[in-house]
Amino acid sequence: MADKNTSTPRKGSKPIGANSKSSGSNRRVLWIVVGAAVALLALLAIVAIFSNRSPQSTAQPGTTVADQIGQPIDRRLMGSPDAPVLIEAWEDFQCPHCQDFAAALDETIRTDLVAPGTAQFQFNYRFVIGPDSITAGMAAECAADQGRFYDYHDLLFAELRSNPRAAAQVTPLKDLASQLGLNTDEFNRCLDSREHYADLLKADNDAANQGINSTPTVRINGEQYSGPFTPEVFVAAVEAAAAQAGAAQ
């Protein structure tokens, strides 16, 4: 075993008493290394901050749903009032099948049917999952007060798909409003006061009275759509309804 008192230096190190020029040079190298390490840590911290930000932060010009479709949006009704077809969908934000419907057809409906003036689209409420569905609906209506229902709709569906319990607390719902750049004071007041609660219960009751007991339920010009939620088939059904409406005039 080596003697703890031996004075033999470690390989590569300088023994006590090395000349001052060499010592000063080592100190300069040390400070350079320390400075570079600090700069690297600062850069990594900045990268981490930006990488953790949501990619769907405050919307930029041209990225809202209204900008994308180039048609009017009146709360939950989007599209030209002169469109020959009305597509109505009864949905529950917490319903996985509604999330699938939105993922499969929202872009097609907006781009291929609403934007060119073929159809209007209206989102309607039918609460089939539980009380948190109403909370999610209230949040969406608070966004609608600021003219951003569909922008919030898209964020909310994405959030609930990845975190099904997001509507169980109001904080995630408020965070989405902040991401969109909404007036958060107004949004939070609206949500905390449950401003739209009574109207949502009435909408849900009206849907039940129409015999709508599952979600999503979709009607095209008043006729229930029972086909698959695939873009080609759905667009064909809407175009057929538009042709029928034109022939009836």
CA-CA distances (angstroms) from residue 5 to 1, 9, 13, 17?
12, 11, 17, 17
Pairing of strands 119-125, 85-91: parallel
Whole-angstrom distance, CA of residue 14 vs CA of residue 11: 8
In this predicted structure, the answer to whether residue 211 has a pLDDT above a threshold of 70 is yes
* Residue 247, pLDDT score: 78
Half-sphere exposure of 58 (CA within 13 A, CB side): 4
* Residue 103, pLDDT score: 95
* Residue 43, pLDDT score: 41
Whole-angstrom distance, CA of residue 227 vs CA of residue 233: 7
Whole-angstrom distance, CA of residue 207 vs CA of residue 203: 6
In this predicted structure, the answer to whether residue 60 has a pLDDT above a threshold of 70 is no
Encoded tokens for 241: 């309804």
Which of the residue ranges 16-25, 56-65, 157-166 would you say has the lowest mean pLDDT? 16-25
Find which of 43-47, 144-148, 163-167, 244-248 is predicted with most confidence, using mean pLDDT.
144-148
* Residue 50, pLDDT score: 32
* Residue 17, pLDDT score: 36
Local confidence band at 137 (pLDDT 50, 70, 90 cut-offs): very high
Domain ranges of the chain: 65-244
Please answer whether residues 104 and 231 qualify as being in contact, where contact means their C-beta atoms are separated by less than 8 angstroms: yes
Can you tell me the mean pLDDT for 28-32?
Answer: 49
- Tokens 């005039």 label which residue? 249
* Residue 246, pLDDT score: 80
CATH superfamily of 65-244: Glutaredoxin (3.40.30.10)
Please answer whether residues 142 and 190 qualify as being in contact, where contact means their C-beta atoms are separated by less than 8 angstroms: yes
Can you tell me the mean pLDDT for 14-31?
Answer: 43
In this predicted structure, the answer to whether residue 225 has a pLDDT above a threshold of 90 is yes
Q: Which of 176, 164, 175 is nearest to 130 (CA)?
A: 164
* Residue 27, pLDDT score: 54
**Cis before residue 84, ω within 30 degrees of 0?**
no
* Residue 143, pLDDT score: 98
Which of the residue ranges 51-60, 152-161, 237-246 would you say has the lowest mean pLDDT? 51-60
- What 1-9 contacts at long range (C-beta under 8 Å, 24+ apart), as own/partner pairs, is none
* Residue 79, pLDDT score: 97
Q: Which of 244, 215, 200 is nearest to 86 (CA)?
A: 244
* Residue 63, pLDDT score: 83
Local confidence band at 249 (pLDDT 50, 70, 90 cut-offs): low
8-state DSSP, 11: T
Local confidence band at 177 (pLDDT 50, 70, 90 cut-offs): very high
pLDDT in tens, 82-124: 999 999 999 999 999 999 999 999 999 999 999 999 999 999 9
Whole-angstrom distance, CA of residue 238 vs CA of residue 32: 69
